[in-house]
Amino acid sequence: MANFNTHLNGAFAVSGIIGLTVYKAGLINDAGFLMCVALGTIGGLLPDLDSDNSTPIKLGFNIASFIFAFGLVMHWRSELSLIALIALWLAGYGFMRYVVFRLFTSMTVHRGVIHSVPYMAILGLGLTYLSYYGLHNSLAVSWFYGLFLFGGAMVHLTLDEMYSVNLSGMTLKRSAGTAMKFYQHKDKQWYLLLYVLLGLLVYAAPPFAPFWEQLRDPAPWAQLKVGVLPALIDNLNR
C-alpha cells in the first residue's frame, strides 16, 4: 500500500486542483477554498485511523490528548491548587494517550471496516451535517466540506489499490482488493450497521437538490472558462 507521504501529497494535490477550480468558478470564497483543501488532505489520511502504527492515528491521539487535558484543567482551574492542576493535566493526558489509545487500537484491525467506502461516506455526510446544522454554514459550503473530506479518502483508497499492482510483472499483490472495500463477509454485522447508518444519514441529509442545481448552473463555469489559460497563451491562440 502507499505510504504516509504518498497519501498526504496525493490528497493535497487532488484537493488543491479541484478546490482551485471551484474557487475560480466563484462557488466558494477564500476561506472556503482553504478549508476544502485542508479537509481533502485530512480525508486522505482518515482510512489509516485503524492502523496502530500509522502517523495519522499517533498524531491524532496526541492532539486529542492535549485537548482533553487542557479541557480538564480549564474546567477545574478555579477549584484546584496548582499542584492538583498539574497532576490532573498529566493524568488526563496519560488516560487519553495510553488507556484510550490502547483500547482503540485493540478494537480495530487495519484495513477493517474503517478502511472502507461506506465508513468514509458516513464521515463525509457527518461533516456536512455538522457544518450545516451545527455551525450554520451555507448549504453549498456544507456539501463542499463533506464531499472534499470524502473525496480525499477516496484518493487514499485509490492509491492503496494502485500500489497493490506489481507493474514489473503486471501481477496483483496480496493486498489487492483490501483497500477500496464496499463489503467484507467476515465483518458482515459491522457492514450491516454501516449501511443502515448511511441510509439514515442519506434520508435525513441537508437538501442536495439546491446544491446540485447550483453546480449545474452554467454561469460559474462560463466564468471559469474565460480565465482558464494565462493571458499570454490565450492571446497567442487568437
- Pairing assessment for the beta strands 171-172 and 165-166 based on DSSP bridges: antiparallel
Q: Spell out the residues 6+ positions from residue 197 whose beta carbon is closer than 8 angstroms to its own.
A: 122
Nearest-CA neighbor of 208 among 119, 149, 146? 146
145 close to 127: Cβ distance less than 8 angstroms: yes
Could you read off the pLDDT of 23-37 as tens digits, one per residue?
Answer: 988 899 988 899 999
Region at 165 (left for phi over 0; alpha for psi -120 to 50; beta for the rest): beta
11 close to 156: Cβ distance less than 8 angstroms: yes
Q: What is the largest CA-CA distance in the chain?
A: 75
Over the chain, what is the mean pLDDT? 79
Could you read off the pLDDT of 38-63 as tens digits, one per residue?
Answer: 889 888 887 776 565 556 666 666 77
Instruction: Determine the average pLDDT of the residues in 192-196.
Output: 89
DSSP 52: T
Could you read off the pLDDT of 119-164 as tens digits, one per residue?
Answer: 889 989 999 998 899 888 999 999 999 999 999 989 988 887 777 6
Asked whether the CA dihedral 188, 189, 193, 194 is positive or negative, the reply is negative
pLDDT higher at 99 or 117:
117
Residue 119 CA to residue 201 CA, distance in Å, equals: 12
Instruction: Kindly state the cell numbers that stand for 157.
Output: 483508497
Q: How confident is the model at residue 138, as a pLDDT?
A: 92
pLDDT higher at 145 or 74:
145
User: Which contacts of 75-83 are long-range, i.e. CB under 8 A and separated by 24 or more positions?
Assistant: none
Could you tell me the pLDDT band of residue 228, with boundaries at 50, 70 and 90?
A: low
Residue 112 CA to residue 179 CA, distance in Å, equals: 9
The pLDDT of residue 174 is above 60: no
